[in-house]
A and B are shown apart, each in its own frame.
Chain A
């Protein structure tokens, strides 16, 4: 039975990520892997930006010491899909294989996974993959005769989720809701300890902590077909970006297929209640909370969210609220698997066993029928490309004479011909072993959502006025050449060209000054990273000190 689950998880992974057998890097929106990401203090605690990728970036840099970027990207993406499927298969409380496989498909073949994958948010998807394991570990902790190994398993399951602030919050909320406060206090403390890196980085950041209220509407859940935003959310879709939505989501039948899935889920509720008498209600509360939060940016909730992001430091985390839908996705997949089992049993009794199996196979295939274009790298959208060789040349030149780099055109995201015209975040901060100043404003359609970095704001002011950027004092200016995205010659006045290629140009600033002195201290964040690492090591020791469990 375990073999079938692993086989199914492997097959789903292979089908979803098939194009990754080609060489190169998949570069889409927020997903930027480079050959070797340098390990810099800035990754532990960004000086003037909110720590959205803490400790994720530091972990990538550490892993890059042993594994090249192209291999690391494949390992991570494969692990996300594989463990999401396997985790859900093992979470479904049944002894039968087919319902478990229904759960695996219902969770690893979802609009949520497809849309966030296309937006390149693999850090969030680590939390998606980890959540079934966190739920399982939390429920086991309630009943385990020996609590320490169970506690260790819970902390280990939560660790991949806590590599981003959003994932950490979801893991923390899951543990807090699924476990009674008194019994779960240590578990909550352990999960909170995993969040220490980004909590400390936030506390020591000079970026403030409040966000532009325009971001609430820009990143609110979005309708994908005639069922509107709520209908999209009910089917675990509804991401804000229309460009990262698989075409099948616009199908007129998509809402009906979602309705079938929800009817199946409703049929499974009584079974879940009987098999998890207490845990089921707590999981339902968690899922309902996640759905409400995901829908909070639409309708009357939008004003509350706007007030929160303006007045409550850190509340900007909530503005892309659809990402909090993960617990809802877990519950729907779990219930759909049990609902299919219930329906199959009834048909098996009334007709014959084959009729029951037909229902289970149909339930198994339903997620694929709803979303056929997740297959083969979302119908070819996850296709690897190679970086132009100039990136290595420029990286070597910057490494030979380190100093701050200004990356132009001053846009955080850009299409490149060499990336098949796909939008991707500027690779410079990860490719170059130096602090890189990029624009942290986000342009969503015609709306510009303000960033937090005062230094980026200073650069924008110079560029808007057409004044030479040499005045910023950066050592280097990198120009990413693309037709139609021009850098006015006036802004390069006073700079000396040191490298010019078809895709990149590097200019040196003879009047460079030292990087502006900052009062920002990174050592508390580094200590917090070490603390979280120790918690993970301690949890691993707790697990390894006992015999292996069934999972």
Chain B
């Protein structure tokens, strides 16, 4: 019984971490439109310190 419970704990935590990790990785590989808009440089001179 204890082993089964441990397996369940491991499965739940593993799935949670996996989900967070996969979604976070997708955020890096394929950022949302808002993120792209924020990070796009609309200054052709390319001499800005940063954008908000």
Contact = CB atoms under 8 A, between A and B. Distances in A.
Interface in B1-52: 2-3, 5-6, 9-10, 13-14, 16-21, 23-29, 31-32, 34-35, 38-39, 41, 43-52
Q: Is the interface of B mostly helix, strand, loop or mixed?
A: helix
Interface string A400-415: 0000000001011111
A362 B50 contact: no
Contacts of B3: 352, 354
Contacts of B26: 251
B28 A248 contact: yes
A422 to B, nearest CB: 10
B31 to A, nearest CB: 5
Given A358-B6, A484-B46, A251 B23 contact: yes
B19 A413 contact: no
Contacts of A371: 24
Greatest chain B CB density within 10 A among A119, A241, A369, A412 is at A369
A245 B28 CA distance: 10
Contact of A372 (B28, B34, B50): B28
A517 B51 CA distance: 38
Given A242-B50, A355-B9, A379 B14 contact: no
B48 A247 contact: no
B37 to A, nearest CB: 9
B52 A242 contact: yes
Contact of B39 (A218, A243, A358, A379): A243
A366 interface: yes
Contacts of B18: 369
B22 to A, nearest CB: 9
Interface string A361-395: 01001101111110000010000000000000000
Interface stretch (A1-9, A171-179, A439-447, A471-479): A439-447
Given A253-B19, A365-B17, A372 B52 contact: no
Contacts of B21: 368-369, 372
Nearest to B29: A247
B6 to A, nearest CB: 4
Interface in A206-265: 218, 222, 240-254, 256-257, 260
Contacts of A540: none
A457 interface: no
Residue from the set A244, A362, A482 with the largest chain B CB neighbour count within 10 Å: A362
B41 to A, nearest CB: 8
Contacts of B27: 247-251, 254
Contacts of A241: 49-52
Given A253-B24, A362-B17, A366-B20, 9 more contacts: A246-B28, A251-B23, A365-B17, A369-B20, A372-B21, A373-B24, A373-B25, A413-B48, A444-B52
Q: Which 3 A-B pairs have the closest CB atoms?
A: A241-B50, A247-B28, A411-B47
11 contacts: A242-B51, A248-B25, A250-B27, A253-B20, A257-B24, A355-B6, A358-B13, A362-B16, A372-B24, A415-B47, A443-B43
